[in-house]
Structure 1
Amino acid sequence: MSDIAQLRKNFPTLTQTIEGHPLVYLDSGATSQKPQAVIDAINLFYTKNNANVHRGLHTLSETATTQYENVREKLADFLDVNATECVWTSGATHGINLVAAGLTSQLTSNDVILISALEHHANIVPWQQLAIRTGARLEVIPVDAQGVIDTNVAITTIQKWQPKVFACSHASNTLGNIQDVKLLVAKAKQVGAITLVDGAQAFLHLRPNLRQLDCDFYVLSAHKALGPTGLGVLYGKYELLNALPVYQTGGEMIDTVSFANTTFRQAPAKFEPGTPNISAVLGFGAALDYLNAIDFQQMHQYEQALFVYLVEQLSSIEGVRLYGDLVNNIGTVSFSYKSEHHYDLAMLLNSYGVAVRSGHHCTQPLMQVLNLDGTIRVSLAFYNNKDDIDCFISALQNSIELIEG
Structure 2
Amino acid sequence: MNAKEIRELFPILHQEINGHPLVYLDNAATSQKPRSVIDAINHYYEWENSNVHRGVHTLGSRATDAYEGAREKVARFLNASSAQEIIFTRGTTTALNLVASSYARSVCGEGDEIVITPMEHHSNLIPWQQVAKATGATLKYIPMQPDGTIEVSDVEKTITERTKVVSVMYVSNVLGVINPIKEITAIAHRNGAVMVVDGAQSTPHMKVDVRDLDCDFYALSGHKMCGPTGIGALYGKKALLEAMEPIEFGGEMIDHVDLYDSTWKELPWKFEGGTPIIAGAVGLGAAIDFLEEIGLDAIDRHEAELAGLAYDRLSEIDGITIYGPREGRVGLVTFNLDDVHPHDVATVLDSDGIAVRAGHHCCQPLMRWLEVSATARASFYLYNTEDDVDRLVSSLIKTKEFFGHAIG
TM bucket, shorter chain: over 0.9
Deviations 1:329-358 (A, max 9, x none): 111111111132111111111111110000
Question: Partners in 2 of 1:158 and 1:403 — Cα distance?
Answer: 47
Query: Aligned ranges for residues 6-405 of structure 1 at < 5 Å?
Result: 6-81=5-80, 82-102=82-102, 103-159=104-160, 162-405=162-405
Runs of 4+ deviating beyond 6 Å: none
Amino acid at match of 2:26: D
RMSD: 1.2
* Partners of 2:112 and 2:137 within 8 A in 1: yes
Q: Which runs of 5+ in 2 are unaligned?
A: none
Deviations 1:196-251 (A, max 9, x none): 00000000111210110110000000001110000010000011011111110010
Question: Partners in 2 of 1:177 and 1:40 — Cα distance?
Answer: 34
Return the offset for 1:145: 3.2
Question: Partners in 2 of 1:368 and 1:199 — Cα distance?
Answer: 23
Return the offset for 1:389: 0.7
The DSSP-based 3-state class of the residue aligned with 2:163 is coil
Q: Which runs of 5+ in 1 are unaligned?
A: none
Return the offset for 1:279: 0.7
* Partners of 2:206 and 2:299 within 8 A in 1: no
Q: Name the TM-score, length of structure 1 as normaliser.
A: 0.97
Deviations 1:29-70 (A, max 9, x none): 000110000000011111121111112111011011011101
Amino acid at match of 2:356: V
Return the offset for 1:157: 1.7
Question: Partners in 2 of 1:22 and 1:51 — Cα distance?
Answer: 40
The DSSP-based 3-state class of the residue aligned with 1:202 is coil
* Partners of 1:26 and 1:354 within 8 A in 2: yes
* Partners of 1:147 and 1:366 within 8 A in 2: no
The DSSP-based 3-state class of the residue aligned with 2:87 is strand
Question: Partners in 2 of 1:188 and 1:325 — Cα distance?
Answer: 25
* Partners of 2:299 and 2:381 within 8 A in 1: no
Question: Partners in 2 of 1:367 and 1:131 — Cα distance?
Answer: 23
Return the offset for 1:266: 1.9
Return the offset for 1:162: 4.4
* Partners of 1:175 and 1:334 within 8 A in 2: yes
* Partners of 1:4 and 1:299 within 8 A in 2: no
The DSSP-based 3-state class of the residue aligned with 1:297 is helix
Return the offset for 1:151: 2.8
* Partners of 2:28 and 2:173 within 8 A in 1: yes
Larger deviation: 4-13 or 226-235?
4-13
Question: Partners in 1 of 2:47 and 2:220 — Cα distance?
Answer: 29
The DSSP-based 3-state class of the residue aligned with 1:215 is coil
Larger deviation: 209-218 or 50-59?
50-59
Question: Partners in 2 of 1:124 and 1:16 — Cα distance?
Answer: 37
Question: Partners in 2 of 1:155 and 1:312 — Cα distance?
Answer: 34
Amino acid at match of 2:46: T
Larger deviation: 387-396 or 140-149?
140-149
The DSSP-based 3-state class of the residue aligned with 2:8 is helix
* Partners of 1:4 and 1:298 within 8 A in 2: no
Question: Partners in 2 of 1:185 and 1:203 — Cα distance?
Answer: 17
The DSSP-based 3-state class of the residue aligned with 1:53 is coil
Question: Partners in 2 of 1:99 and 1:271 — Cα distance?
Answer: 11
* Partners of 1:145 and 1:370 within 8 A in 2: no
* Partners of 1:88 and 1:232 within 8 A in 2: yes
Overall identity of the aligned pairs, in %: 45
Deviations 1:232-282 (A, max 9, x none): 100000110111111100101000001021111122101000011111111
Amino acid at match of 2:14: T
Question: Partners in 1 of 2:310 and 2:170 — Cα distance?
Answer: 22
Q: Name the TM-score, length of structure 2 as normaliser.
A: 0.97
Question: Partners in 1 of 2:4 and 2:297 — Cα distance?
Answer: 14
* Partners of 2:349 and 2:395 within 8 A in 1: yes
How many residues are aligned here? 403
Amino acid at match of 2:212: Q
* Partners of 2:112 and 2:138 within 8 A in 1: yes
